[in-house]
Amino acid sequence: MASLRDIRRRIKSVKNTAQITRAMQMVAASKMRKAQEAALSGRPYAELLNRVLVSLRDRVDSSMHPLLEKREVKHELVILLSTDKGLCGGLNTNLFREVLNFNADTTSFITVGRKGTQFLARTRRKVIADFALKDHPSFLETKTISKFAIEKFLGGEVDKVTVLFPLFVNTLTQRPTAIPLLPITSLEEAGLVHDGGTPAAPPEGGILFEPDAQSILDAIVPYYVHYELYQMLLGARASEHSARMVAMKSATDNAKQLVKDLTLEYNKARQASITTELLEISTAQLALG
């Protein structure tokens, strides 16, 4: 049995750990609220944008804009949105399991977040770029990433761009999801319908463009790609903070339980030592008497 001093020392260290995890839980909780708000408020916009674009795509010739063009997929590019720091439960692990579904020979990766970079290096995947982002990514910052992906796509180096990220469902659930970014795909096709908005039926007689279809497409298509990536990144951030909050909460709870168990053990040991001591005294007395 562990000595009294050992148990006391363990209780102290577990208490310290609980304090740290609780502090991290608080920090994550406040960040989570902001991140969730940012992610959720942008969703209607992203969905409407997607719907507008898809209905547009279905009405014009896909050869009108190179980003709409579906090509045979020989090389694929995956943008992996992971976290910089660990201690967020199974978030990254679940995400990386999805990475294994991609063909290692034909797939190259762009990573955001240190954990993803480390994982891909460990599994010897091809990483062509690594972007570091702050906690609150701005639209301009994410734009550099999507621009890079667009260049690769237009340059013919890759035929498909997919974003792999933890989709924020709610605080307790984050689902690792792969969404095709290029060529343009509708959310329905990607299996991601949020509100089931009915796609507008193509009107007879086509659609009028002002000033003309080409300039509209030139403006909306790249913007859509930039925005979509931004939105996904906000979702990934919300997922990260939620996962961390939940993980830290269970860590705190576990530590508390451990302190309870250890205290019980400590008291038992203390009592046992007192009993032995009493026994010794009375035996000694008997022997003397």
Cα distances (Å, whole numbers) of residue 50 to 42, 100, 185, 217, 260: 12, 29, 8, 13, 53
Whole-number minimum distance, CB 269 to other proteins, in Å?
60
3-state secondary structure of 87: coil
49 or 269, CB closer to other proteins?
49
Cross-strand bridge partners of residue 78: 109, 162
**Is 59 in contact with 129 (CB distance < 8 Å)?**
no
Whole-number minimum distance, CB 38 to other proteins, in Å?
9
56 or 79, CB closer to other proteins?
56
Active site residue 273: no
Cross-strand bridge partners of residue 182: 161
For the record, the structure tokens of 6 come out as 């050992």
Whole-number minimum distance, CB 239 to other proteins, in Å?
19
Query: Alpha-carbon distance 185 to 191, whole Å?
Result: 10
Whole-number minimum distance, CB 143 to other proteins, in Å?
7
Q: Which of 18, 78, 88, 251 is catalytic?
A: 88
Q: Which residues bind to other proteins, rule: CB under 8 A?
A: 41-42, 44-45, 48-49, 51-52, 55-56, 140, 143, 200, 203, 205-211, 213, 215-216, 219-220, 227
155 or 205, CB closer to other proteins?
205
Cα distances (Å, whole numbers) of residue 173 to 50, 89, 169, 205: 24, 12, 6, 45
Query: Alpha-carbon distance 96 to 186, whole Å?
Result: 25
**Is 121 in contact with 38 (CB distance < 8 Å)?**
no
158 or 234, CB closer to other proteins?
234
Residue 153: count of CB within 10 angstroms of its CB: 22
Residues with catalytic function: 88
